[in-house]
Amino acid sequence: MTLSDAVSTRISLRSYLPDPISPQQVCQLDKAIAQYNRQAGLHIQLICNRPDPFSSLTKSYGMLTGVRNYLVFAGPESDPDLAEKCGYYGELIILTATAMGLGTCWVGGTYDRRSCLCHLSEGEKLVCVAAIGHTPEERSGREKLIRRIAQRSSKSVAELASGLSHAPSWFMSGITAVQRAPSARNLQPYRFVKKRDNSVQVHLTETNSFSSVDLGIAKLHFELGAHGGVWSWGDGGTFHKAAEEKSCGAVIWRGTPAQHQYLLARHNGGHWSFPKGHVESGETEIQTAAREIWEETGLQTEIDTKFRQVVTYYPKPGVIKDVIFFIASPTGGSEHAQEAEIADLGWFSFEEARPLVTFATDEEVLLAAEAYLTQQE
C-alpha cells in the first residue's frame, strides 16, 4: 500500500488491542521516524508499552481505550514552524503506520500531557501525540457510536478551494486528498487557492491551538493527492508542482519460495536498495527493469509482473519520482556490479536483508516480496 492509498483508507481509531507492535514493525517505524527527524530537525518518538498518558483513573481521557503505544510529536521550541512540521511529518508517519496495517489517532487534548514531558530534552516543546497500535478487525458498536458523535463529514471542494475553473487535474486530486485530512475537532480550518501561474496558496480560515498542525497535515495530503510538489512553510505558504520522473527495477531472488535469498545493491551514494534506473524514451516498464538489472548486475532475469510495487520519493527539490518494482529471478549472465553506479552486490536472506535496506519505502517492497514468495510455498 502506498502513502496515497493510505490517505483513502486511514480513519481515526480509538479502541486498541493489547497485542504489542512487533519488533520488526517498531524497527520499520523507527527508520521512517529517524529519516523525517533528520530532514526536519524534529524529535518525533515512538513510545511502546507505556499506557500512562492514557490510563489515568482520576480523569476521563476522552474516548480512547486500550492505548499502550503512542507517538510523541515534539521539536525545538525556537522553530517558528514547529507545529506545522509536526503535522506534516507526523502525518507521513501516521500514513506509513496505516500502510503497515496499524491503527492510529491524532490526540491533541485527551491525554495526560505531563506524563509525556519526560521524553523531551531541554529547549524542546511537546506539540501533541498520536495513539498507535493494533485495532480490532471489526469496529465495535462503541467505536461506531463515537464516530457518529465525533465526526461530521469533510468539507466540500467548494468550501476548501477556490480558483477551480480551468484547474489542472492534479489540483482537484490534491483537494480530494485534503478532504480526507484529519484535523482537530474535524474543523479543516484552511482554504487552498489556485493562482493564475498554477502555483497554489493555502490560508488558515481560523486559528486555534492546533490549526498549524492541521495546516501541516493538509499540506501533506494536498501534495500526495497532487502527486508531488514543494510547499513553503507557514500560513499563506505556496506550493509548486514537481516535475515527474519514473524508474523501474526489480527485487531479484534465487532459491525456492520456501528458502531463498535476495540480491541487494549498495549504490555509490552508500544506500542498500534494489537494482533500478530511469525509463528511456519508448521503453516499457519491463524493458527498463530488464535493461537496468542487466547493466547494474550483469544478470539476465525473468521478470514476474504479477508483483508490482510503487515507491515514490523526491530525489531532489522540485522533482518527484515513482519507482516501479517487479520481482525477478536470474536466468543467465554473470554477476558483476556496474562500477559507475554500484559499489557492491550481495545475496541475503530475508532476515539479513530487512535491516540492511536503507529506506523504509524499500523495506515495504521487500516485505511485500517476502509475502508474495511465501504465498507460493
CA distance 220 to 239: 11
CA distance 335 to 346: 10
Q: Does 2 bind ligand FMN (CB under 6 A)?
A: no
Q: Does 131 bind ligand FMN (CB under 6 A)?
A: no
Question: Which residue's CB is nearer to ligand FMN, number 54 or number 170?
Answer: 54
CA distances for 210 relative to 149, 161, 204, 368, angstroms: 20, 21, 11, 36
Nearest to 306 by CA among 237, 250, 366: 250
Q: How many residues does this entry show for the chain?
A: 377
Give yes or no for a contact between 194 and 240, defined as CB atoms under 8 angstroms apart.
Answer: no
Stretch that binds ligand FMN, among 11-19, 244-252, 260-268, 348-356 (CB under 6 A): 11-19
Cβ within 8 Å of residue 353, ≥6 positions away: 262, 264, 366
Question: Which residue's CB is nearer to ligand FMN, number 24 or number 55?
Answer: 55
Q: Does 11 bind ligand FMN (CB under 6 A)?
A: yes
Question: Which residue's CB is nearer to ligand FMN, number 187 or number 286?
Answer: 187
Q: Give residues 187-246 in contact with ligand FMN (rule: CB under 6 A).
A: 210, 213-214, 217
- The beta-carbon contacts of 116-120 under 8 Å, at least 24 apart in sequence, are 116/47, 116/53, 116/70, 116/72, 119/45, 119/47, 119/72, 119/74, 120/43, 120/72, 120/74
CA distance 216 to 269: 30
- Which residue sits closest to ligand FMN, CB atoms considered? 182
Report the residue from 53, 66, 75, 108 that binds ligand FMN according to the rule CB under 6 A: 108
Q: Does 4 bind ligand FMN (CB under 6 A)?
A: no
Q: Does 182 bind ligand FMN (CB under 6 A)?
A: yes
Residues 42-81, one symbol each (x = binds ligand FMN by CB under 6 A, - = not), give: --------------------xx------------------
Q: How many residues bind ligand FMN (CB under 6 A)?
A: 22
Report the residue from 107, 279, 367, 373 that binds ligand FMN according to the rule CB under 6 A: 107
Report in angstroms how near the CB of residue 58 gets to ligand FMN at its nearest: 18
Give yes or no for a contact between 13 and 104, defined as CB atoms under 8 angstroms apart.
Answer: yes
> Computed over its alpha carbons, how large is the radius of gyration of the chain?
22
Residues 141-180, one symbol each (x = binds ligand FMN by CB under 6 A, - = not), give: ---------xx-----------------------------
CA distances for 308 relative to 151, 259, 268, angstroms: 36, 22, 25
Stretch that binds ligand FMN, among 104-112, 250-258, 310-318, 349-357 (CB under 6 A): 104-112
Q: What is the DSSP letter of 15?
A: B
Report in angstroms how near the CB of residue 54 gets to ligand FMN at its nearest: 11
Report in angstroms how near the CB of residue 61 gets to ligand FMN at its nearest: 9
Which residues lie near ligand FMN (CB under 6 A)? 11-12, 14, 62-63, 105-110, 128, 150-151, 182-184, 186, 210, 213-214, 217
